[in-house]
Chain A
Amino acid sequence: MSGRLSRFNAASLALGFAFLYLPILLLVIFSFNASQLVTVWGGFSVRWYAALFRNEALLEAAWVTIRIAFLTACVATLLGTLAAIALVRYGRFRGRTLLTGMIYAPMVMPEVITGLSLLLLFVAIGLDRGFWTVALAHITFTMCFVTVVVQSRLLTFDRSLEEAALDLGATPLRAFLTVTLPLIAPAVAAGFLLAFTLSLDDLVIASFTSGPGATTLPMRIYSQVRLGVTPEINAASTLLVGFVTVGVTAALLMRRAARAQADF
């Protein structure tokens, strides 16, 4: 099916992408609105960004969120990559079905259930809720996404290079670090960025597992949004959207680079 776009195809593409992008675009435009009224254009201004950077509570929440997202991404990438290697390289080990299930289930599990169950665990083992509990929860649900990304790369990967290294006397660890890891690095990096983005964006799981002093940015935005739309939140949202866009674009480019490499 190529190159023969009917008028209907072209129209549905145009309308579809307009639908996907217009709301975000409007949000970005109105974050530069001088007027206090969110939906009346009063000229260009960056006053809401200035207000944003004076809003201590919001900045504090942003800092907490970034720290959690970074920690989450590091640990989730490690655990997710290990799980991917286990699933692809160790074939049929005992309990493989359970591991596969535990990887896929958190991805389709409604967030309210994941959040509730983790909170109950933290209460049961007497862990004080806060920064660390949110990070633990985020690592758990993001590592599964890392596994899926890395797994798909490992499956398309030419094992003969690794086997050559082993034949020449390299230990498995050395073969992994010098041959396999550099080859799957783009997928691992993409997984890292995914985990970072997912953690940055999560509201529901964080709301359940967070405690005093660890309010994340989505939680702060949510509580303000419930009171109504404010230009300041538009500005905060625009920054967050910009951040995520850069991250996702980088992840996509890296995966593309990985594929180009795989073709050689």
Chain B
Amino acid sequence: MGGALRARAGRLVVIGLPYLWLAIFFLLPFAIVLKLSMSDPVTAQPPYAPVLDWRGGPGHWRNFLLSLDFENFETLWGDDLYWSAAVSSVRIALVSTLLLLLVGYPIAHGMARAAPSVRPILVAMVILPFWTSFLIRVYAWIGILKPEGLLNQVLLWLGLISEPLSILNTQTAVYIGIVYAYLPFMILPLYSALERQDPTLLEAAQDLGARPSKAFWTITVPLSMPGVIAGALLCFIPIVGEFVIPDLLGGSDTLMIGRTLWSEFFSNRDWPLASAVAIAMLLIIVIPIVVYREIEAQRWEPRQ
């Protein structure tokens, strides 16, 4: 009896502790963001109308609910700046994801073709920069891309250009930075999809007379589609909310929604509006996840 009681207590602790932690530090803050996105800004410290006062009783709660409105969302909806930030974020994320696929696929393919004993080392070599300071990896590109930077020096020395290119603080620099920083996110899922493929399929295709390029496009690529989708999502989602890369490598004209949220919060100190931007950003991110899950569900359904 004592043992059973102890087992139940143990179970309560094991499930309860992480549960409680995440409820307090993940769910609750999220509810506050949602609530604040519907509140009005106030010039005070902290700069917004008070949070719900629990002591007020039902009448007070009703007033609180009535005070909520979608004014901040209307502001976002009606303002061209936020629209162009959202559109530009999605566009940058889409183009970057495509570039990442183009750069990542040959690398993942090469890794999957390498000798089995070498593959774990190659995987470790992809993971290593992925855990190396994000900020520093982005910072490293400033020294390379700036007008008197290393890239321009090399290009001038090779005689390919006659005067320095200005790449830093342009959209190009943002794309280079994103592709560089997110490449491991793309390579790893592609690699795990490619590595699982049965080599005899390609051999069969070749025995039947298919040229290697044809075998690649009709067998390797379609079979790696789950990896392509996973990699694309893993990159697309965080790129939409990216702040550091457009801030350090982009110019003042590089609009991204993560940067908008940051400046709305730190420079304009409009916390309710920043919260509304956060909710809008989440919606942009949640849509591809839902679409992906739908596709997955349809893919698996016939087999079950």
Contacts and interface: CB of A to CB of B under 8 A. Distances in A.
Q: Which of A8, A10, A112, A173 has the most CB of B within 10 A?
A: A112
A243 to B, nearest CB: 9
A24 B129 contact: yes
B150 A26 contact: yes
Nearest to A251: B131
Contacts of A189: none
A248 B25 contact: no
Interface of B: 3, 6-7, 10-11, 13-15, 17-19, 21-30, 32-33, 36, 46, 51, 103, 106-107, 109-116, 120, 122, 124-129, 131-137, 139-144, 146, 148-150, 153, 180, 183-184, 187, 194-195, 197, 199, 202, 212, 237-238, 240-244, 248, 258, 261-262, 265, 271, 274-275, 278, 281-282, 285, 289
Given A2-B115, A5-B114, A82-B17, A102 B26 contact: yes
A113 B212 CA distance: 46
Given A2-B116, A9-B113, A13-B111, A113 B135 contact: no
A99 interface: yes
Closest 3 CB pairs of A and B: A110-B241, A12-B106, A117-B29
A240 B21 contact: no
A187 interface: no
B36 A201 contact: no
B84 to A, nearest CB: 18
B282 A237 contact: no
B6 A171 contact: yes
Range of interface residues on chain A?
Answer: 35 or more
B92 to A, nearest CB: 14
A13 B110 contact: yes
Contacts of B184: 20
A64 B109 CA distance: 42
Contact of A225 (B22, B142, B265): B142
B265 to A, nearest CB: 6
Contacts of A117: 29-30, 32-33, 278
A112 B262 contact: yes
Interface in A3-32: 3-6, 8-10, 12-13, 16-17, 19-21, 23-24, 26-27, 30
Contacts of A130: none
B146 A124 contact: no
Contact of B240 (A102, A110, A124, A218): A110
A100 to B, nearest CB: 11
A109 B301 CA distance: 29
Interface in A198-245: 200-201, 203-204, 208, 218, 221-222, 225-226, 229, 233-234, 237, 240-241, 244-245
